[in-house]
């Protein structure tokens, strides 16, 4: 570390890893006092960064929440806003290869030296926040503060910020925002958010609050819609919803992605193309276009289509090889499996291989069961992330439930094994650390 030049600054950081360690420092100190099984309501303290983030907010801010597709919507909305000439800040998580991927301006990642500079500048303020034993300053809150500082320096006009698992106890909630996007909400992260769809929806509905103008809802289960609708009425916030105010039509799948039309309140966009797969991505794009219109007014159809074709979102039904067709997706629960199965059904193949790296504390049996009747070869594998547990026992437990799955510890060897079985289509599914390692391996070998 080094000494800051201005009063109130921290000591600063010599390396990116030092800055990242600082971001997680408070959490790691509190971790021994935290009960792993407790809800976020008992563990998280967004009030600690509330004053900091609320004072840093500027311009037009959009929060994005939901259970599936938050990052896709955030990236597509960023592209749409750029097509209208709006300089756009983007804050997402988690990252795939580089922590700085979380912070972007016009899709360009924050430079390492700028990340270090801003983290050092904020260090004193962060360390000055008082905490009790077992309380911690959220890494999300600290990273969001770095992002907002960078966006301010870059003079962005609109900032798109992805929430974490929930909203009520997520620090991003305290960033003043006029708009929100809600992707489909389903039963997930039950340990942190609650054991019913109603509890999860109630948590995420806190994206609605004072000062919010309009919330854009993807297609939702009725009980989810009712919760968001009631909160919107409480705060007199307009709701626009998929199927009523915007919709995607004429969806087709290709080996390059998808093509479809979008109809909003204001216009029809013909032949929109995105390099992502899944009906939900067409719906997400419709949501993003409707929200983009709300912020910018009328959009230039050709410019929008050009920018959307450049959308990148690694590990979300991403095509990483075409021979054999190989898809990479962060699917770790049975609720996410239908999206993958939908794509499988629309892609010609005769021999499907599935590779799973789903930690022991996640729904690995649910994911494996979802592909039981489709996959000719299924393999459990692991990642190098020390925070996740994988084991041969996962395959044994699957066998006890009638699932034919083998275990190969190294993901690269698992991929070679599936190929040796003649797979002409491969789905690699699992936690984000798997996505990172597959992407790193592909980069090191110049492609799989």
The pairing of beta strand 268-274 with beta strand 257-263: antiparallel
Where do the domains of the chain lie, and which CATH numbers do they carry?
Answer: 58-103+143-308 (3.40.1190.10), 318-444 (3.90.190.20)
Q: How far apart are CA 385 and CA 383, in angstroms?
A: 6
Whole-prediction pTM: 0.87
The pairing of beta strand 247-254 with beta strand 257-263: antiparallel
The pairing of beta strand 238-241 with beta strand 214-217: parallel
**In this structure, are residues 168 and 203 in contact, taking their beta carbons and an 8 Å threshold?**
yes
Identify the pLDDT of residue 445. Answer: 52
Q: 49 exposed, middle or buried (CB, 10 Å; 0-12, 13-18, 19+)? A: buried
Identify the pLDDT of residue 94. Answer: 86
The pairing of beta strand 425-430 with beta strand 406-407: unpaired
**In this structure, are residues 106 and 317 in contact, taking their beta carbons and an 8 Å threshold?**
no
Q: How far apart are CA 71 and CA 165, in angstroms?
A: 12
Identify the pLDDT of residue 302. Answer: 97
Identify the pLDDT of residue 189. Answer: 83
pLDDT digits (tens, 9 = 90+) for 187-215: 888 889 999 999 999 999 999 999 999 99
**In this structure, are residues 317 and 281 in contact, taking their beta carbons and an 8 Å threshold?**
yes
- Joined together, the tokens standing for residue 222 give 């009725």
Q: Each residue's pLDDT tens digit in the chain (448 positions)?
A: 553 444 345 568 999 999 999 999 999 999 999 998 999 999 999 999 999 999 999 999 999 999 988 999 999 999 999 999 999 999 999 888 899 999 999 999 999 999 999 999 999 999 999 999 999 999 999 999 999 999 999 999 999 999 999 999 999 999 999 999 999 998 888 889 999 999 999 999 999 999 999 999 999 999 999 999 999 999 999 999 999 999 999 999 988 889 999 999 999 999 999 988 889 899 999 999 999 999 999 999 999 999 999 998 888 888 888 899 999 998 888 888 998 999 999 999 999 999 999 999 888 999 999 999 999 999 999 999 888 899 999 999 999 999 999 999 999 999 999 999 999 999 999 998 898 888 887 655 544 4
Q: How far apart are CA 181 and CA 215, in angstroms?
A: 6
Report the DSSP beta bridge partners of residue 407: 380
Identify the pLDDT of residue 412. Answer: 92
pLDDT digits (tens, 9 = 90+) for 367-397: 999 999 999 999 999 999 888 899 999 999 9
Q: 204 exposed, middle or buried (CB, 10 Å; 0-12, 13-18, 19+)? A: buried
324 upstream amide cis, omega within 30 of 0: yes
Q: 294 exposed, middle or buried (CB, 10 Å; 0-12, 13-18, 19+)? A: buried
pLDDT digits (tens, 9 = 90+) for 325-349: 999 998 888 888 998 999 999 999 9
Q: What is the 3-state secondary structure (H, E, C) of the chain?
A: CCCCCCCCCCCCCCCHHHHHHHHHHHHHHHHHHCCCCCCHHHHCCCHHHHHHHHHHCCCEEEEEECCCCHHHHHHHHHHHHHHCCCCEEEECCCCCCCHHHHEEECCEECCHHHHHHHHHHHHHHHHCCCCCCCCCCCHHHHHHHHHHHHHHHHCCCEEEEECCCCCCCCHHHHCCCCEEEECCCCCCCHHHHCCCHHHHHHHHHHHCCCCCCEEEECCCCHHHHHHHHHHHHHCCCEEEEECCCEEEEEEEEECCEEEEEEECCCCEEEEEEECCCCHHHHHHHHHHHHHHHHHHCCCCHHHHHHHHCCCCCCCCCEEEEECCEEEEECCCCCCCHHHHHHHHHHCCCCCEEEEEECCCCCCHHHHHHHCCCCCCEEEECCCCCCCCCCCHHHHHHHHHCCCCCEECCCHHHHHHHHHHCCCCEEEEEECHHHHHHHHHHHHHCCCC
């Amino acid at each position: 570390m080094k000494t800051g030049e201005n009063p109130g600054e921290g000591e600063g950081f010599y390396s990116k890893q030092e800055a990242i360690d600082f971001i997680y420092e408070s959490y790691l100190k509190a971790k021994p006092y935290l009960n792993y099984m407790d809800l976020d309501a008992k563990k998280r303290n967004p009030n600690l960064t509330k004053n900091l983030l609320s004072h840093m907010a500027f311009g037009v801010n959009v929060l994005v929440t939901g259970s599936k597709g938050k990052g896709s919507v955030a990236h597509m909305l960023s592209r749409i806003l750029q097509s209208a000439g709006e300089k756009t800040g983007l804050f997402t998580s988690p990252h795939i290869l580089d922590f700085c991927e979380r912070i972007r301006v016009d899709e360009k990642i924050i430079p390492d030296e700028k990340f270090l500079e801003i983290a050092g500048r904020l260090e004193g303020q962060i360390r000055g926040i008082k905490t009790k034993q077992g309380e911690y300053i959220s890494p999300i809150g600290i990273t969001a503060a770095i992002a907002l500082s960078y966006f301010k320096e870059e003079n962005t006009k609109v900032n798109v910020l992805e929430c974490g698992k929930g909203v009520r106890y997520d620090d991003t909630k305290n960033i003043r925002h006029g708009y929100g996007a809600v992707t489909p909400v389903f039963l997930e992260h039950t340990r942190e958010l609650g054991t019913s769809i109603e509890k999860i929806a109630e948590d995420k509905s806190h994206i609605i609050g004072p000062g919010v103008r309009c919330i854009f809802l993807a297609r939702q289960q009725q009980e989810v819609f009712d919760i968001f609708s009631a909160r919107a009425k409480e705060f007199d916030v307009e709701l626009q919803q998929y199927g009523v105010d915007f919709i995607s039509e004429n969806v087709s799948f290709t080996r390059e992605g998808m093509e479809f039309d979008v109809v909003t309140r204001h216009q029809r966009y013909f032949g929109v193309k995105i390099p992502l797969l899944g009906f939900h991505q067409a719906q997400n794009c419709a949501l993003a276009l409707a929200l983009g219109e709300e912020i910018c007014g009328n959009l230039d159809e050709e410019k929008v289509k050009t920018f959307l074709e450049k959308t990148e979102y690694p590990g979300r039904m991403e095509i990483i090889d075409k021979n054999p067709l190989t898809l990479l997706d962060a699917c770790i629960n049975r609720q996410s499996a239908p999206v993958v199965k939908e794509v499988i059904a629309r892609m010609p193949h005769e021999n499907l291989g599935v590779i799973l790296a789903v930690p022991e504390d996640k729904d690995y049996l649910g994911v494996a069961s979802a592909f039981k009747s489709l996959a000719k070869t299924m393999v459990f594998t692991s990642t190098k992330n020390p925070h996740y547990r994988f084991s041969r026992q996962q395959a044994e437990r699957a066998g006890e439930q009638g699932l034919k799955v083998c275990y190969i510890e190294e993901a690269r060897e698992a991929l070679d094994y599936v190929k040796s079985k003649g797979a002409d289509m491969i789905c690699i599914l699992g936690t984000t650390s798997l996505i990172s390692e597959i992407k790193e391996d592909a980069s090191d070998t110049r492609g799989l």
